[in-house]
Structure 1
Amino acid sequence: MASNAITWSANRDAPISNSGKMSLTLDGISITDQDGAFRWSTAPLKASVSALQLTEMGNLLLLDQFNVTLWESFRYPTDTIVIGQNLPLGLLLSSAVSSGDLSTGNYRLAVSASDALLQWQNLTYWKLSMYTKAYTNSNYAVEYMAINQTGLYLFGHNGSVVVIQVNLSPSEFRIAKLDYSGQFNVFSGSSLKREFVGPDDKCQIPFICGRLGLCSDDAASNPICSCPPNFHVISNSADCVPSDGSYSLSVSCSSTDNNSGSNTSLVSYSRLGYGIDYFANDFTMPVKSGVNLSVCEDLCLADCSCLGVFFENSSGSCFVLQNELGSVMSTTGSDGDRLGFIKTLVGSSPTNGNNNFNGQALRFPIVGLVLLPFTGFFLLVALGFFWWRRSRISKTGKVKLSYPTSPSSGELDSFSIPGLPVRFEYTELKDATDNFNTQIGSGGFGAVYKGTLPDKSLVAVKKITNLGIQGMKDFCTEIAIIGNIHHVNLVKLRGFCAQGRERLLVYEYMNRGSLDRTLFGNGPVLEWQERVEIALGTARGLAYLHSGCQQKIIHCDVKPENILLHDQFQAKISDFGLSKLLGPEQSGLFTTMRGTRGYLAPEWLTSSAISDKTDVYSFGMVLLEIVSGRKNCSIRTQSHSIDDDTSGGGYSSSSSGPPQLVYFPLFALEMHEQGKYLEVADLRLEGRVTSEEVEKLVRVALCCVHEEPALRPNMVSVVGMLECEIPVGQPRLESLNFLRFYGRRFTEASTIEENDGQDDFMLYPRANASVSSKMSGSPTSFSYISSQQVSGPR
């Protein structure tokens, strides 16, 4: 049945002319342009290719001599899937730019553990479960999406359970396509008759009316685009800008353009008015609740990526618009309670060719002739002064920022910046550590030793190994960044050493060690208030990294090993800002994800953008461990008692039931649903903690581990919830169903292969695992690896 529909493209972002050439070799398919230049090829294969086959389903196969499939196009979808093709967790459909340009566009369809999502700029704007005629079963996690002769489905439990179902008229030919317009369509028959579309309301499409365009529906459900009050359309564009020419739209600091709005004294807000809402507001959590409009505006003012806010009067909720502005839409009913404000800059950009110079430009030559000799003289004097200063500084070794060209180069020996951490000589640190005699920790970067400086102060000296050339270049930059960061809940960098091949970092000494040793060790049990203070201190440190620094820092490896404790159990975060130090020798560990498995957010798997919400997820997992007093993968008896043999931090149960491995985040979710919060708490605290106290931390933790990053609170809000300044959020169960999937996978895999005493379980399918392997629940779908193998420095 010929439909002439394009369902797959090999090199959509590097098109070639009709004169290009496709070749089939023993190594696979390769494409060259008319000049013979290489443009695309299949990935390296496990065996030589014997045949190329196009199946009746539309799957392009490469086969070996035994007809075993080496490669197939179904595993590399573009914007379309067909009958017989699955779209599993971790793969995406990406729209084209236009009907005539198949390059990757701005819209994508992602399959999560609970739904199928349409996204723009990493913001969700539609879910399959929103379709009114869809059947849903929230008891199982989604594993893949597929279409067949009877409809559109999301399957779980190895394909045996339907999680979401959309029934359609029977058809032998059907395709599902993410259109360049941002709508997800299902077509059937050779004529490609459209039988399903989402969203059906085009005003829900993020960029339907351009930047800040106001979308409203007419009786025929066709979008009508205009501009909000106080805005007008730019000529030759669909974008809307302030009508008052003395104001211009702010530019996000994430843009490649210069952000002229960095001077907060020049920032203002243009009001959109009631009855206007933003597409993403119903899919994101407010950054603050129970505040007034002034606080909401101040939050945006302090964030250079914020381009506007929506304030909900009834709840005092503040929603922020970040990085990129889409269209806005007319609303009715309760949504009209939100009031939007767009950040603008006082002072417009030049719009005409003469730049308002008028006749003044004509007088420039005369003025220039007078001033030019004086200007040139002062420039020569200034250049001479800087040349003299630079030569003198180079001789004294105070400021010399040259990078090494080889690992053995000593060009960094003279690196020093006044006001930043002290630069130590290698012999000084060797003496301070008694020739690196007392090792107190180790990690992916090397070992950590206890030392005593001449002033009798204790330090922890991290001896970094295997940096590689790029790591050495990044070393100075990282020193400059983290050396200027000071917060009571961040471990202070006291100094460094860059001498020859040696690279060492000197930190303040934390006398109580890392949180994992205190929490999971055999020492005295942490009391509840001590746990709360540790959680609060960690949250404050992360909030500072995310929003208190001049440059946002994402830790990417939040875990108990990287939370150090000082006197009175004061928590301090370590190893922030060091991810760039990894050299090529270690980079293979982080090909698809970075951090420690067991604390990794789901977006690592779906190749979504990594943001500060990734740290929020890891903090939520750590918070569950703080509440329970043991690791998130433990042994449970029938009485729910825990005994984690791998950590020593558990406690024996006197009940008789057979022990079984349990994925604790799922257990915490189930106890939350049943209201049995004391079952989640460390049983060693029996009688010394109330259900209400445990409920608060469990709810905060579950909000932090929402599958969708936009639903997680930011760390500033987490601090507010822990300090009781804002109401504790209510976890959204539909965004936590993925925990059931991970829990079942953990239980199934753990019955086949022992843990071998390692710390962390990898609960995500490997990036290079086959789709059938992922769906079958085979033990090869999972990787068991210790935290020390993949984590950063301790």
Structure 2
Amino acid sequence: MASAISYILFLSIFSSAFALGKAQPRQSNISLDTSLRPTANPTSWQSPNGRFAFGFYPEGTGFSIGIWLVASPENSTVIWTADRDEPPVTKDAVLKLTNEGLKLLLQHSEGRLISNLSTGNDASSASMLDSGNFVICDSNFNVIWETFDNPTDTIMAGQVLLAGSELVSSLSGTNHSSGNFHLIMQKDGNLVLYPVASPDTPGDAYWASGTNGDGSLSLYLDDKGWLYLHLGNVTSNLTSGYRYGTPLVYRATLGVDGIFRLYSHDLELNTQQVLKEFPEVTDPCEVQGTCGLNSYCTSANGQVVCMCLPGFDYLDTNRTSSGCRRNITTAAGCYLGNDNMTYMSTLESVIWMVDPYGAPLSVTSKEDCGEECLKDCNCDAALFSDNTCRKLVFPLRYGKTDDSTTTFIKLVNISAGGTPVSSQAESPAAAPVTTIRRKFSAKILTVSAAIIACIISSLAALIFFFHRYRAGRYRRLWRNKEPALVDEIAPRPFSYHELREATDGFKEEIGKGAFGTVFKGTLHCGQRILAVKKLEKVVDEGEREFRTEMRTIGRTHHKNLVRLLGFCDEGTNRLLVYEYMSNGSLADLIFKADGHPGWDERVRIVLDIARGIHYLHEECETRIIHCDIKPQNILMDDNWTAKISDFGLAKLLMPSETRTFTGIRGTRGYLAPEWHKNVAITVKADVYSFGIVLLEIVCCRKNMELKAEEDAIILLDWVHNCFMDGELEKLVPDEVDMTELNRLVKVGLWCTQSEPGSRPSMKNVVTMLETNVDISLPHPPGFSS
């Protein structure tokens, strides 16, 4: 332990730019009683070089506390999270440095410490160091707590992962709670990757350093990019050094996919690079534990799909990687004498990394293997390959595709006494499934069916009255909740009765669009204002499909998206509950006759919209094509921040009820040309619509003005002509920055190219709007390359 700490101090002296910081605890001192809040400056404490920040960052529907590497204002990487498995806190939280350490103060609770001081000394100050380490010191400036000793999924240059310690992956790119994989620095000297949901035996490991037996090694990352295991005079290199003149920041992170990666960050160029991966795999399904128990992994173009066994359903339809469970159960026992109780289901081309419970059997056919398992009370499943049969018991783990193997699954026949598990989403089938059944007894089936019918009839009345009681109690509970709690649970289901009361019988209409009518409503005696949208002419989806879609939309969280708070899918009623946007739509703002926003405000709104669409296309968990970007669907909040509404709803609209053309989603004037060509629609359709909206914002006029001069009726053509003639001043109703106007017009013209492939991605659009990069001359409208 002492030698490891000495080596860390040696590394800190070697490179002052990335010093560990124990030698300089007085830098960026934070004194006692200093506090942070999620929405009031300061929201974080920065390191002296500005590369790292400690404080609140947005996560889910609230805020988490952590440390992030600041590459740019719009690009940061979380490297440490406090209390990562606690739910995000609300905007009313306070983080305070006290003599007990860092204390998180929450409304209606006593608060909690997020740092456990290692000594009996009181805290006196704290520092966010240039190395990415946050330290708390006593009155003598001795470090008594530091984040480097408590890593989550990342180690930074100068940090050490001691023997017996581990890194745990995050759940997703936007959820930093504990995920599915961990990297353990074992005390036997072996650095090993395991799935979290495993006993961590050698058979569960999907990568290891192979250094077991070398003593209690520790994992080091130095400021040249060397990643190695070390103890005394024993060193085992995992990588080489990577620095060649350019100052870089290095980190090693266990990714959500279970891959341990070494990264370099060039903060001057705002770029990052993956230098090494452990393990190096071409198929993500090679990572054991990518899919949970009783499910198997398939992949296409690097995208993972987890599939359930026949007779199994997902534990969580929103997280299909969490595994599967039986959809039919029965009482325990052996049914060898009952020909109709069990049967075998066959799954082709899937293998499981699990040991058989008995010696392998030699058989002559696949069917024989299935029969051997069927007549064995202990057998749940069997693998057939090369005329060999291996019997297995549940749960099965680490399943993946394999052309040479057949899996047999023993299932319970529902008509013979099996009981369905409460409804889950059905698993898609990736391989042909057939069944090998025994001969059924008609008499037993008839008796069983009669018994089941009696039981169901008796339970139906109980369930009906119980449901009515629970529904009434549920409504009463929600009515009594504090308004702030609504923010913590979103989207949540509402009853139609609740929303009818909240809107006073859908009395005050505040908007109408392609998907339905929007009404103003209130909850909690008027303390919470809502916008309730009654969907009209929607596809007749089942309850489960509609709820799945709503939860997909509800998981999106971005400051430039209107937030979905809840929904109703009661009977034929489909309603959505949104946050209320007090300042109307962008159309109201830029098309009004008595004035328009100033130039700086218009530029900011353009960037707000671009960031929102970029999030939908590339950053949210389920990527979304909006299909109807227009000023009427851009709403303005209390602070005049632009937010996109109606995203993710296009596929709910019935094809025969679209706004303008049968089979077309969207609004005339904003439709990309490919909508009329009967070709596949991509995110580039939204880019085209955004380009039209951008030009409307710049010029403060609609895309078609019949009262304008003949050459200015079509906005896109007029803008291009003015651009080519060097007469951009004709476009704007006020004095503006001509350099910035030229840049915005170029972006708009590139976005509205007739060929989708010629349009930039929204990521590139945001870059062009935020920076002074050179933008080439756009092609004229209608040009085809």
The two structures share one fold, judged by TM-score above 0.5: no
Query: What TM-score, normalized by structure 2, do the two folds share?
Result: 0.41
Q: Which is bigger in relative contact order (C-alpha 8 A, separation at least 6)? A: 1
> TM-score, normalized by length of structure 1?
0.40
Q: Which protein is richer in strand relative to its size?
A: 2
